[in-house]
Amino acid sequence: MSATTNWTIPSVRAALAAKKISARELAKEFYGRIDGRNSELNTYLTLSPERAYAQADRVDAIIARGESLPPLAGVPIAIKDVISTEGIRTTCGSKILENYIPPYDATAVERLDKAGAVFLGKTNCDEFAMGGSNENSAYGPVRNPVAPDRVPGGSSGGSAAAVAAGLAVAALGTDTGGSIRQPGSFCGVPGLMPTYGRVSRYGLVAFASSLDKIGPLTTNVADAAAVLSAIAGHDENDSTSAPIPVANYAAEIAAPVKGLRIGVPEDYFGAGLDPEVRANVESGIALLEGLGCKRVPLRMPHTDYAIATYYILATAEASSNLARYDGVRYGLRVPGATLTEMYRQTRVRGFGAEVKCRIMLGTYALSAGYYDAYYLRAQRVRTLIGRDFHEAFEKVDAIVTPTAPTPAFHLGEKTSDPLTMYLADIYTVTGSLAGVPGISVPCDKTKAGLPVGMQVFGAHFREGLVLQIARALEQARGSAN
Amino acid sequence: MKISREDVLRVAELAHLGLSPEEVETYRNQLDRILSYIDKLNELDITNVEPMAQVTYTSTAETSSHPELREDVLRPCNVADPVLAAAPDAAKPFFRVPKVIDR
């Protein structure tokens, strides 16, 4: 690997404007980096140089004409492989979509394109975004660039690893139960889950429709704000996208955090939390207090029920959403003598083990005789978890917790039993169920050098505040080091 | 034991998954463990708690949202060719599947 510049969105912009590099040369530099490291890290499943260079040439033409640059002009971006990209293979990390080429762009992708971004390719992920380690990908696991014998987290493991390894300036991930925040924590980069409805889900291949969100992973918090600004906002193609104006995130993150009330729920600091993670997050809270934030102890009493709730609701929705993969309209078809046999063989061979486990669980929870006991009960508990957040935000401006109970674990460490893997989602699924925005921002490192993320939750549509606090921590850490 | 082999077979039938005998046993074990864990939801009193199917914004003071209904107008949607191009077996304007009449 050659010595590389740590590009950010503003530094790309400045270099292009000063004509120190062209957008095409920059894309080429990133493909060179990918060439050097992708066989080791397995971050990208598909590269899209044709589209990337066409986008780069468009930006270079704007520069040549002396016109003003769009906000993400020339920024090399990676896109998680569950998000549709016109003409670029989109596998969802599954064999069932191995050769699927979407005929359209997701709204978030279309907006990045309009903002001048350059799409390097599609990043590896757990199959249909189901997993917390990237080991459920049909195309092999991603390795954590910080510690290659460890997982990058999941399900947006490829996106987080690509950004952390300098193989993209920014990436889109998706977060259903922690899939942006947890890999952000494991790889040491900021990862933002926006409010449910802030970013259109049109073109996001559905896992659990009431929980799925698209958001950015970037090398720094200001870049996350810049990507969110580009992709957020109402979309007539997604009726759950909110018709609420998009805030000026760049302005909001610059405001001082002095006087903000930071809620620290003791329920997130109990048994199972790694002592080094606890110490790191505590030191992060102390830095925020040093900036004038007021620490407020909190109780969020339904936290302990969030995983059980999440794994009923998410799998129920998944069992319904994944019914579409039947070998008829797209993707894999395994021939069968009858239509039913074709469905059964296509699905059993096309889906991986974890996806089948979740389809089975969700189907069970929705089936006659179990619906009230599991699905309806979980929906009622979801209300209680939402109330925990609502009541907390009457007392505090933001909630600060660890993102994950441990740093990145070893490859293979949790693969033998799905439940063990699910329990690692304990701090992230709560906010997913409540639909509030949350970010994981690098806090510090363990003695072994593994990144630890701090999670910041805000009230619905307060992405600006969440980013502001994350930015303050990032800057305080920078000046402390 | 929360879930039997017969339960797994019934669910696999509903989900159109032609599981192998080994898979039936694997998923019986896994689902049994997961459902036992999920039993913790029974500890909570949920009387008079409304189910939450979708995130609603009315719970926060500063935001409100209503599902936006758009005008019901016809728009061209010429997607048959690219859609059929992705199909494993298409005969425009149809998707072709094994014969279903005899079933």
Q: Is the pTM of this model over 0.90?
A: yes
pLDDT digits (tens, 9 = 90+) for B51-60: 998 886 543 4
A397 and A465 Cβ atoms separated by less than 8 Å: yes
On whether residue B17 sits in a domain, the answer given is yes
Residue located via tokens 């939390």:
A273
Overall size of chain A counted in residues: 481
On whether residue A13 sits in a domain, the answer given is yes
Quickly count: other Cβ atoms within 10 Å of residue A365's Cβ.
24
For A320, the enclosing helix (H) or strand (E) is helix A306-321
If you average pLDDT over residues A369-380, what whole number do you get?
A: 95
| CB nearest to B63's CB, from A244, A308, A434 | A244
Domains: count for chain A: 1
pLDDT digits (tens, 9 = 90+) for A185-201: 999 999 999 999 999 99
On whether residue A140 sits in a domain, the answer given is yes
If you average pLDDT over residues B54-77, what whole number do you get?
A: 63
On whether residue B103 sits in a domain, the answer given is no
Backbone angles phi, psi at B8, to 5 degrees: -60, -45
Residue B75, chain A, CB below 8 Å: the answer is no
Residue B67 — pLDDT band, cuts 50, 70, 90? low
* Chain B residues lying within 8 Å of A459, measured CB to CB: 60, 62
Can you give the pLDDT at residue B54? Answer: 83
Backbone angles phi, psi at A189, to 5 degrees: -130, 155
A23 and A61 Cβ atoms separated by less than 8 Å: no
Residues 6+ apart with CB under 8 A from A90: A81, A82, A83, A84, A97, A100, A101, A102, A122, A205
pLDDT digits (tens, 9 = 90+) for A35-74: 999 999 999 999 999 999 999 999 999 999 999 999 999 9
Can you give the pLDDT at residue B78? Answer: 86
Residue B22: give its domain's CATH number.
1.10.20.60
Can you give the pLDDT at residue B63? Answer: 43
On whether residue A305 sits in a domain, the answer given is no
On whether residue B38 sits in a domain, the answer given is yes
Residue A455 — pLDDT band, cuts 50, 70, 90? very high
Distance of CA B29 to the CA centre of its chain: 22
Can you give the pLDDT at residue B57? Answer: 54
Please provide the distance, in angstroms rounded to a whole number, between the alpha carbons at the two ends of chain B. 36
Inter-chain contact B19–A390, Cβ cutoff 8 Å?
A: no
Q: Is the pLDDT of residue B64 over 70?
A: no
Average confidence score pLDDT of chain A: 96
If you average pLDDT over residues A175-179, what whole number do you get?
A: 98
On whether residue B61 sits in a domain, the answer given is no
Amino acid at A9: I
Can you give the pLDDT at residue B68? Answer: 55
If you average pLDDT over residues A293-316, what whole number do you get?
A: 98
A454 and A473 Cβ atoms separated by less than 8 Å: yes
**DSSP code for A304:** G
> Which one has a higher pLDDT value, B72 or A266?
A266
Work out the angle at residue A240's Cα, subtended by the Cα atoms of residues B41 and A213, and round it to the nearest 5 degrees: 65
Residues 6+ apart with CB under 8 A from A5: A11
On whether residue A119 sits in a domain, the answer given is yes
- ipTM, two decimals: 0.93
> Which one has a higher pLDDT value, A480 or A371?
A371
On whether residue A203 sits in a domain, the answer given is yes
Overall size of chain B counted in residues: 103
On whether residue B36 sits in a domain, the answer given is yes
- Domain span at residue A190 reads 9-253
Cross-strand partners of B94: B91
Residues of A tagged active-site: 80, 155, 179
Residue B101 — pLDDT band, cuts 50, 70, 90? confident
Query: Residue A5 and residue A27: Cα distance in Å, rounded?
Result: 13
On whether residue A65 sits in a domain, the answer given is yes
Can you give the pLDDT at residue A56? Answer: 98
- Domain span at residue B38 reads 1-43
Domains: count for chain B: 1
The residues in B 4-63 lying below 8 A from A, measured between CB atoms, are 7-8, 10-12, 14-20, 23, 26-27, 30-31, 33-35, 37-38, 40-44, 46, 49-55, 57, 59-60, 62-63
On whether residue A40 sits in a domain, the answer given is yes
Residue A22: give its domain's CATH number.
3.90.1300.10
Inter-chain contact B60–A390, Cβ cutoff 8 Å?
A: yes
On whether residue B16 sits in a domain, the answer given is yes
- CA-based nearest residue to A317, from A210, A201, A232: A210
Work out the angle at residue A213's Cα, subtended by the Cα atoms of residues A208 and A216, and round it to the nearest 5 degrees: 145
> Mutating which of A357, A380, A425, A426 best tests the B interface, going by the most B Cβ atoms within 10 A?
A380
Can you give the pLDDT at residue A481? Answer: 54
On whether residue A111 sits in a domain, the answer given is yes
pLDDT digits (tens, 9 = 90+) for A220-262: 999 999 999 999 999 989 989 999 999 999 999 999 999 999 9
